[in-house]
Amino acid sequence: MVQPKQSGSSARESSDSHAAEPREDRLLAALGSLGALLGKGVAITADRLQDVLEEAVRRGRMTAQDADELAKNLFEIGRRQTQDTLDGVRRAAGFGDALPIGGYDDLTAAQVERRLADLDDGELRAVREHERRNGNRTSVLTAIERRLG
C-alpha cells in the first residue's frame, strides 16, 4: 500500500530538488487515509454474500424474499460508503468536482437526497446553486431547503 511521505524536515532535506508540491502532499495524505479506512473494513465479494444468503434460505433460516432484500440493502450501503469515501479522498486531495458530492450530475434525485445529510450549510448552498442552474429538481431543492432550515 502507498504510504504518505513523511512531513518531517529530514524527508524534505534529503530531496529538495524533488520536493512534493502541496497538491501531491494532499493526494498522498488522502491515499494514506483511504488505506486506513479500507484496513478497518471487511471485504466480502457479491458472489460469496449471495452464496451465504442462498444457504440460509436453503436451511430455512430466512425467506428468499428476506434474503433478496438484505442483499439489496447491503449492496446499496456498500455503494454509498464507497462513494462517500472516494468523495472525501477527492476533496482532501483537491481533485474532482467543485461540488461536495462526486459524480453529482450522474446521480438520481434520491441518491443526491441521501447524501445531503453529510453536508454542512456551505456545501448545501453550493449544491443548491448547482441544482438550480442544471437539473432544477424540485425534490432535491426541497430537501436542501429543509436541511438549511
**Looking at the predicted structure, is the pLDDT value of residue 148 above 50?**
yes
pLDDT of residue 1: 44
As a whole number, mean pLDDT of residues 92-102 equals 70
**How many C-beta neighbours within 10 Å does residue 67 have?**
20
Same domain, 59 and 73: yes
Domain hosting 139: range is 101-149
Structural domain ending residue among the three candidates 81, 96, 111: 96
Mean pLDDT of the chain: 79
* pLDDT score, position 81: 79
Inside any domain, residue 18: no
Nearest by Cα to 46 from 70, 19, 75: 75
26 located within any domain? no
Number of structural domains (the chain) is 2
Domain-located, residue 63: yes
Quote the cell numbers at residue 83: 462513494
Q: What is the mean pLDDT of residues 93-97?
A: 61
Enter the pTM of the model. Answer: 0.47
Q: Work out the pLDDT band at 122, boundaries 50, 70, 90.
A: confident
Residues 89, 52 share a domain = yes
